[in-house]
Chain A
Amino acid sequence: MLRFLLLAFSVVVFAHAELCKPDAQNAFKVRLSIKTALGDNAYAWDANEEYLFKAMVAFAMRRYSSKSTTQISNVLLCNVTDRVSFWFVVTDSAKNVTTVAGSEVEAAIRMNRNRINSAFLLSDKTLQFLKISSTIAPPVEPSTPVWLIVFGVVLCLTVAGIVFLIVTGIQRRKKQNKESSETEDLEEKCEVTVTIENGIPCETLDLKAGHINGVYAADDERFASL
């Protein structure tokens, strides 16, 4: 009886060893980088952590498919290294000595990745399932690109500055024009009075005998042109 039990036990162990080995069918390699993630707060990887891992995988399988009756003893770990990497398979609880299809395990892990990560205080990058690629969350993008907003602000300021300068320039020039035409009027009035007060109206001086002095000919240059 004892010998039979021993034989059965060794068969089971042997079968398990057959099921879980590197590159076995439906086996996955897991790699943890605990020191990278947690630094000084890193915990050591021991049998308890392995138990938790098996529990999480069983939990994932159960949560994925409500029909699943995976037990912790169905999850087999092997080849644990110092890196903290190991292989695992999930055996079918109903049928003996067969493994659950890899695609199912993959889907279950994918669905519950967050829960598994947080159980170990790790992230997608530090708890790697080597054949199961994770979808990376895209960066949050605001609805209006930020650069357009800043561009709009700078553009408005620049255009406002240009308009301001042009308008003040036009106003200044109009004021200058008005001032200079006022002074011109004033001087013209003086001229008119002078010529009359002189007694001799200017037109009479326009005699053919008269000699026009060339120095005063270019009279329009007397006033500063604008």
Chain B
Amino acid sequence: MEKSRPLWDNPLQFVFACISYAVGLGNVWRFPYLCQMYGGGGFLIPYFIMLVVEGMPLLYLELAVGQRMRRGSIGAWKMISPYLCGVGVASVVVSFFLSMYYNVINAWAFWYLFHSFQDPLPWASCPLNGNRTGDEAECARTSPTQYFWYRRTLNIAPSLEAAGALQWEQALCLTLAWLLVYLCILRGTESTGKVVYVTASLPYCVLIIYLIRGLTLHGAVNGLIYMFTPKLEQLANPKAWISAATQIFFSLGLGFGSLIAFASYNEPSNNCERHAVVVSLINSATSIFASIVTFSIYGFKATFNYESCMSKVILLLTNAFDLEEGSLTADNLGAVQGHLQAAHPQRYAELQPQLKNCSLEAELDTAVQGTGLAFIVYSEAIKNMEVPQLYSVLYFVMLLMLGIGSMLGNTAAILTPLTDSKFIASHLSKEVVSGLVCFINCIIGLIFTMEAGNYWFDIFNDYAATLSLLLIVLVETIAVCYVYGIRRFEKDLHTMIGHKPSWYWKVMWAFASPLLIISLFIFYITDYILTGTLQYQAWDAAQVNDD
């Protein structure tokens, strides 16, 4: 008789685990960027079409496979066909890559969280230079938030080759992040099941608080109008559709083996069809919700910067021409500028290079994604709110929860096949295996805490998982539909849930999703070939911008 497999305490834990895993940082920092780039409100059209055609069917497939085979990814695919256990191994390897670099984000979130307990916030103003007559040079050329990110947090090197020293502060935060992950996965589903209640629901609480705060901020409406104005001509751009497909694909976390691992701890009679639909809808709804919050924050930040720019121009003109204080306002600025130019052309011409053209549109147009959005744009908006410490703590706790939730899925994808294997399970206990995996990942992850670490992070983020996942999921779909046989799969589902999957699912599994994945795959390969030498953005401390 086999040792009984640990199970989730109730189906809600399973759903929360899937939501916690799928709703990650990508929903917060990638989707708003895509929405902005590809037509605002209009982007939702390709997004929903891809969700229905690609996201839901593939999610259902993975959950069903895991629930039926009741094994981690390696075991499950071995049962489908002995020649296919390579798919499982590939999933484990990709999960391993991901967990190596993903936890560094949690380390950064910890760093910012710990620094939020100060008044004023350390990224609110520049540090002073050597002789205390002004701000430090690098910080004065850029903004305090960028300085804090690039210099205080990352201490970034000018290029990938200049590896630099290990940043002990970041290394400490990374160790703490891995200890926290270990704490959550220590007991397997027993501990993970309880943790996901928190990691799945806390981000929503924080997002609601931010939504209320964000919508009441001055200038938030500008951002929302900007985002939601549909630019339907973008729909003709194939990149919009490809981005929608890619976003759905990676947002749900398909192909890592985490979903298979989670589903393998289910009761065999669990209704995974309903759960698949629920999880994918919640994931997409969260993306849209997060982008509403992000855009109200964008609007606030852009309006704030625009008004600061105007104030600077007004002050410059008032001082240069000794006008009465308060006589120049944003409304009469244009008229007065014209008047001054006519009356004192020479002096005005001298001032000209310093007078910046302030434009709200230009501020809103600065589309940012990734760590730049999460750590620079948001912290800049937070420092200008009232009681910034509170909002800062809430925000970074939310980032942590999102990150830890995804890490739980990643580590489950690695650990489930390991603990399923009889060889390892007989020699080492679950705690020791988890500890070893966390330890190895932590040691390797120290690379990302070096001065050039952020460049390595970018490389891993862009290239570690993209093509591999597409290939893995493609092989998975073809394996289930054609190697295992869709009739057999149908019957299995009938045994599990009690009814056969409708024709819609079968058509998607057999034709639509594989075709879509193949076209995505071809697109990426041609893109890589056409790009030629791959490039990365480096931070130049002398000029202080990304080049």
Bound complex: CA of A169 vs CA of B191, how far in Å? Answer: 12
List of A residues within 8 angstroms of B3 by Cβ: 224-226
Pick the interface stretch among A57-65, A108-116, A147-155, A181-189.
A147-155
Q: Does B117 contact A (CB under 8 A)?
A: yes
Known A-B contacts A138-B132, A165-B187, A165-B191; the reply to A150 vs B322 at CB < 8 A is no
**Nearest-CB residue, chain A, relative to B178:** A158
Closest-CB distance, A106 to chain B (whole angstroms): 14
B325 touches A33 (CB 8 A): yes
**Nearest-CB residue, chain A, relative to B326:** A35
B132 touches A147 (CB 8 A): no
Q: Does B128 contact A (CB under 8 A)?
A: yes
A161 touches B114 (CB 8 A): no
Closest-CB distance, A23 to chain B (whole angstroms): 14
List of B residues within 8 angstroms of A85 by Cβ: 319, 322
B176 touches A147 (CB 8 A): no
Q: Does B431 contact A (CB under 8 A)?
A: yes
Closest-CB distance, B313 to chain A (whole angstroms): 15
Partner of B128, one of A81, A138, A146, A221: A138
**Nearest-CB residue, chain B, relative to A225:** B3
Known A-B contacts A162-B179, A165-B187, A221-B1; the reply to A83 vs B115 at CB < 8 A is no
Bound complex: CA of A35 vs CA of B131, how far in Å? Answer: 31
Known A-B contacts A165-B183, A166-B431, A224-B1; the reply to A154 vs B318 at CB < 8 A is no
List of B residues within 8 angstroms of A133 by Cβ: 133-134
Contact bitstring A205-223, B, C-beta under 8 A = 1, else 0: 0000000000000000100
Q: Considering the complex, which residues of chain B in the window 1-41 have a beta carbon less than 8 Å from any beta carbon of chain A?
A: 1, 3
Q: Does A76 contact B (CB under 8 A)?
A: no
List of A residues within 8 angstroms of B324 by Cβ: 82-83
Q: Does B118 contact A (CB under 8 A)?
A: yes
Q: Does A36 contact B (CB under 8 A)?
A: yes
Closest-CB distance, A184 to chain B (whole angstroms): 16
List of B residues within 8 angstroms of A35 by Cβ: 325-326
Contact bitstring B165-185, A, C-beta under 8 A = 1, else 0: 000000011001001101100
Bound complex: CA of A147 vs CA of B325, how far in Å? Answer: 42
Bound complex: CA of A85 vs CA of B319, how far in Å? Answer: 9
A150 touches B114 (CB 8 A): yes
Closest-CB distance, A83 to chain B (whole angstroms): 4
Closest-CB distance, B106 to chain A (whole angstroms): 12
Q: Does B522 contact A (CB under 8 A)?
A: no
Partner of A81, one of B172, B191, B322: B322
Closest-CB distance, B347 to chain A (whole angstroms): 13
Closest-CB distance, A210 to chain B (whole angstroms): 28
Bound complex: CA of A151 vs CA of B172, how far in Å? Answer: 9
B319 touches A83 (CB 8 A): yes
Pair count A-B, CB < 8 A: 81
Q: Count of chain B residues with Cβ under 8 Å from any Cβ of A?
A: 35
Closest-CB distance, B221 to chain A (whole angstroms): 27
Q: Does B323 contact A (CB under 8 A)?
A: yes
List of A residues within 8 angstroms of B176 by Cβ: 151, 154-155, 158
**Nearest-CB residue, chain B, relative to A166:** B431
Closest-CB distance, B425 to chain A (whole angstroms): 10
Partner of A165, one of B110, B114, B173, B186: B186
Q: Does B111 contact A (CB under 8 A)?
A: yes
Known A-B contacts A83-B319, A151-B172, A158-B180; the reply to A36 vs B325 at CB < 8 A is yes
List of A residues within 8 angstroms of B431 by Cβ: 166, 169
List of B residues within 8 angstroms of A84 by Cβ: 325
**Nearest-CB residue, chain A, relative to B184:** A161
B318 touches A161 (CB 8 A): no
A147 touches B186 (CB 8 A): no
Closest-CB distance, A126 to chain B (whole angstroms): 10
A34 touches B325 (CB 8 A): yes
Q: Does A136 contact B (CB under 8 A)?
A: yes
List of B residues within 8 angstroms of A81 by Cβ: 322
Q: Does A159 contact B (CB under 8 A)?
A: yes
Contact bitstring A105-134, B, C-beta under 8 A = 1, else 0: 000000000000000000000000000011
**Nearest-CB residue, chain B, relative to A224:** B1
Q: A85-B322, A150-B113 are in contact. List 8 more A-B contacts (CB 8 A).
A: A133-B134, A135-B131, A135-B132, A147-B114, A154-B110, A158-B176, A158-B179, A165-B186
User: What are 15 A-B contacts with C-beta separation under 8 Å?
Assistant: A83-B322, A84-B325, A85-B319, A134-B133, A135-B131, A135-B132, A146-B118, A147-B118, A148-B114, A151-B114, A158-B180, A161-B183, A165-B187, A165-B191, A169-B431
The 9 closest A-B pairs by CB, nearest first: A147-B114, A81-B322, A82-B324, A83-B322, A35-B325, A150-B114, A135-B132, A158-B179, A161-B183
